[in-house]
């Protein structure tokens, strides 16, 4: 069936929305109680999309808190209801481009949002991953909170380059805190990309916190003057990446209550936000408790990609 989509942009590039190049994520809400089917689909697709998995009222409560924080910072347009999260014209969001300030902002929103904490770290989500892995699980202590206004979405990447020092079975869970139409710009998965390990082996073997001790910039990296030598991006052009790797970009018009999770080697990105509304979401990580965990993301105040995370090597 031919689907009709609005104009889709990713990193400013218009995506080919023909059936051969773009499509919708496969729903797995029909198999949510069939573990064998879920595991088989995850192995086949590299992701699981579960529409309506969470209680919509719980997600709305968490959204209300996020919007309230932005309103208190003077970022939302007072002519609209706070819950709509409409960006105020000329609002200063420059602090979100500073990695340290952005981390502090994410931390404060997550830790002071009881509804969000209940959603992602208790109840149905914990049971989902416990059942999926077939054993006790552990989650990272850091919560990635995204408040994306009008503009470019996230570059194509795989998560392993940011958090690959532990379990290879680590999964990312993406939760939207709002109804996300295509123009607001939700997450998208590159179809079949988790099976491209051979073609992507050089990229997948990298770690954003490794640096070359025998290069001129080493001293500046050790001192923190250069926070990141490489940002982990696979491509700045989602359209040309799809042409190169094959497969389709897959996404959906998400609703509050939907969840999507995927493995560390699944290529993903997000559509640009072409609307006046903020897009709220969280990224959280879960793995078997019996397996090693990446120490950058655990503890009361995880070191993340800070200076303590850097590792030198001879190149």
3-state helix, strand, coil in the chain (%, to 5): 30, 20, 45
Domains of the chain with CATH codes: 16-313 (2.60.120.620)
Identify the pLDDT of residue 94: 75
Which pair of structure tokens corresponds to residue 204?
């997948």
Size (the chain), residues: 315
Average of pLDDT values for 37-65?
A: 98
Number of other CB atoms surrounding residue 306 within 10 Å: 16
How far apart CA 75 and CA 147 sit, in angstroms, is 11
Place of tokens 């809400």: 29
Q: What is the pLDDT of residues 273-297, one digit of tens each?
A: 999 999 999 999 999 999 999 999 9
- Mean pLDDT for 87-108 is 81
Name every residue whose Cβ is closer than 8 Å to that of residue 71 and which is 6 or more positions away in sequence.
78, 82
Sign of CA dihedral 202, 99, 155, 254: positive
Structure confidence by residue, pLDDT tens digits, 143-193: 999 999 999 999 999 999 999 999 999 999 999 999 999 999 999 999 999
Q: How confident is the model at residue 199 (pLDDT cuts 50, 70, 90)?
A: very high
Average pLDDT, the chain: 95
Collapsing DSSP states into helix, strand and coil, what is residue 45? helix
Between 132 and 102, residue with greater pLDDT: 132
Q: Is the pLDDT of residue 1 over 50?
A: no
Q: What is the pLDDT of residue 250?
A: 99
Instruction: Out of 4-13, 50-59, 84-93, pick the least confident.
Output: 84-93
pTM of model > 0.75: yes
Percent above pLDDT 70 for the chain: 99
Three-state DSSP class for 258? coil
What's the pLDDT tens digit per position in 51-64? 999 999 999 999 99
pLDDT in the model for residue 289: 99
Kindly indicate the confidence band of residue 2, based on its pLDDT and cuts at 50, 70 and 90. low
Mean pLDDT confidence for 22-27: 98
Higher pLDDT, residue 214 or 139? 139
Note the Cα 40 to chain centre separation in Å. Answer: 23
Cβ-Cβ contacts under 8 Å for 46 (sequence gap 6 or more): 189, 192, 193, 194, 195, 262, 263, 265, 266
Q: Are 248 and 20 in contact (CB under 8 A)?
A: yes
pLDDT digits (tens, 9 = 90+) for 252-270: 999 999 999 999 999 999 9
Residue 236 has pLDDT above 50, yes or no: yes
Q: What pLDDT score was predicted for residue 96?
A: 72
Residue 87 pLDDT > 80, yes or no?
yes
């Amino acid at each position: 069936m031919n689907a009709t989509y609005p104009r889709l942009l990713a990193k400013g590039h218009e995506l080919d929305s023909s059936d051969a190049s773009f499509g919708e994520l496969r729903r797995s809400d029909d198999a949510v109680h069939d573990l064998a089917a879920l595991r088989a689909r995850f192995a086949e697709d590299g992701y699981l999309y579960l529409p309506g998995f969470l209680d919509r009222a719980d997600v709305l409560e968490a959204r209300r808190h996020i919007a309230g924080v932005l309103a208190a910072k003077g970022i939302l347009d007072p002519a609209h209801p706070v819950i709509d999260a409409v960006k105020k014209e000329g609002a200063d969001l420059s602090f979100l481009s500073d990695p340290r300030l952005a981390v502090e902002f994410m931390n404060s929103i997550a830790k002071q949002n009881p509804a969000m904490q209940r959603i992602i770290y208790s109840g149905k989500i914990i049971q989902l991953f416990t059942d999926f892995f077939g054993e006790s699980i552990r989650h990272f202590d850091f919560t990635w909170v995204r408040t994306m206004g009008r503009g470019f979405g996230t570059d194509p990447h795989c998560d392993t380059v940011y958090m690959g020092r532990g379990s290879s079975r680590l999964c990312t869970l993406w939760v939207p805190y709002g109804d996300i139409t295509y123009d607001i710009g939700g997450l998208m998965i590159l179809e079949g990309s988790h099976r491209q390990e051979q073609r992507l082996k050089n990229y997948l073997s990298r770690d954003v916190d490794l640096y070359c001790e025998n290069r001129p910039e080493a001293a500046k990296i050790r001192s923190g003057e250069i926070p990141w030598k490489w940002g982990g991006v696979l491509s700045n052009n989602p359209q040309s990446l799809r042409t190169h790797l094959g497969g389709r970009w897959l996404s959906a018009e998400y609703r509050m209550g939907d969840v999507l999770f995927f493995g560390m080697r699944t290529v993903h990105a997000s559509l640009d936000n072409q609307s006046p509304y903020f897009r709220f979401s969280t990224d959280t990580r879960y793995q078997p408790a019996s397996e090693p965990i990446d120490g950058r993301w655990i503890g009361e105040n995880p070191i993340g990609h800070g200076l303590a995370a850097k590792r030198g090597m001879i190149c």
